[in-house]
A and B are shown apart, each in its own frame.
Chain A
């Protein structure tokens, strides 16, 4: 039987790997993205299925139970959570992958700590996988709001972080040098702590970049596990892991750089800048917050030539996208030109707003990137900011502000700015927004869903 079984399994891994590459390629184009995930999904199914037939495996009952629990739980949870929770779901499932990589490394180390080459590779995989799981769980907790999402800076965090990392890795190296598995225990504990320490100082607004970075980490950890496995009895599964892992490791790294660039930041600044933790001092905000009634806002918009809607996380939280679509339709029926200005990092992830507005059925040609629309604000009568804050904060143009240099939407150029906001709190970055105090800016308090609802009914009555 095994005369043809092993080559067949290998051939299927080869097919799967090709499909992963083609799937990833398809995922990076708007027309082909859905096909991409289907292709990659089919490849995964094949790769996992043939692995069951690998010669020499035992513990089948345990494997089956583990797969059923994990696959069922993962699928169910991903289907039932709200769309707004998708960013943290990516984080948690990425963490699971990192944890799996760290655990596989542990099994490899328990079995063959005496083999320096495999043990060394496993230690490396364990380091990266452990940081990825604990860091991703922290990102999940912050985005879910179960722990404060603000950047928490503590003095000496960078030296402390490096110290912890060096000590943790030291235990791992020592375990391999003396071939004693006992030292792996402090090794894992310290690295898991390091992942927490690494993520705590990072504010919620930067989490997309961090999640993307941990995604690349998990890919590399998986590849390192693969290296260690190719030496073992079932080496061909290892090659599949090396290729798929490195594919994600490099694509994920590039994606992380692209995301950071969209915010005009470096990855180093995101990771170690404790962005938003320090309050800006010395600048006094001028003016006052001016509330306005929904009926007045409705009249103002009705007589506008052009309205630009700037959605942010507040719209996502309130699930207001349907109402926003209704508002746009109503305004258009009254002859008002309606456009949407989408900041690349509005919401909690790049593309978050596009996804939600697309869900509500708002067509692509009304959505404009920052570069496309910034020049238009000065010819716009009303800029309606729905639950966005940091991405419209003019402090980004002011030297010395923690936001300085971040590309923003220049809504303050519009004749009138209306900000829908739940209260007087600060944005995710924790920085005061002086836009709200400008003369041409009025506040419409309320959660996005009800505030936009009021606007729609006021417009329909008029």
Chain B
């Protein structure tokens, strides 16, 4: 009997760190065993209290708060990298501080092209319908959008190691509570990350990959009366030659315990589950080819560039 685990998904990841401009210098920000640490700010909570009282807010502390706020944000999966070859590079210069406006729309930009001379039809204005309300609502939306974008950029600026780890946190937060609200984003995230792997693995057109999110009961989210299959899901190749299509059904947690840990494709095998997580040694269940029985592999990891793991048998 093989136990597949998605709990403590991060055990197959090494610690990593990034240098963050903070105050007049740079500080280390560390991720270790699923947690963010601020070695240069041993009493971050006290600093937050000081900041609330008008003191300066340390960027490291801000980042830790931002990380926590986005640890369930599915937008991270939409914007972040799809694989090691998909480089998302954001520098600290790209990241506006929270007090800086990021998006300069201007009122003129929000209107369409100039129209011919017109006499607008004037209808009665209801209370609450007026331009002031419209302006306030727009302002609020602009600020909200600016903040969200700025926060995402700051997290992406931490580099690929943190980008993958944050994606893992997001998936882990959602994997246990699948619903109509998060299934589409998770299915797209799964497909978008499996596509380049399938291209490497099978020489398949990446557009011909469709993945669905396996619910906890072993049936795929896309519905249908699929007979009960293996607990990890299914991988099926249909069609011939240029018309080959790969249908994959995996648990959402795969994105955290396998993909985010850099384990998705090891020694020309598609890893479908982690049996024994760990760093630098782990045991995984992997498919040599679609339709074949998965095999157990003992794998060993090394830190690649930017703390992205590289695994070998």
* A pairs with B: no
Q: Write the residues of chain B forming the contact surface with A, with a CB cutoff of 8 angstroms.
A: none
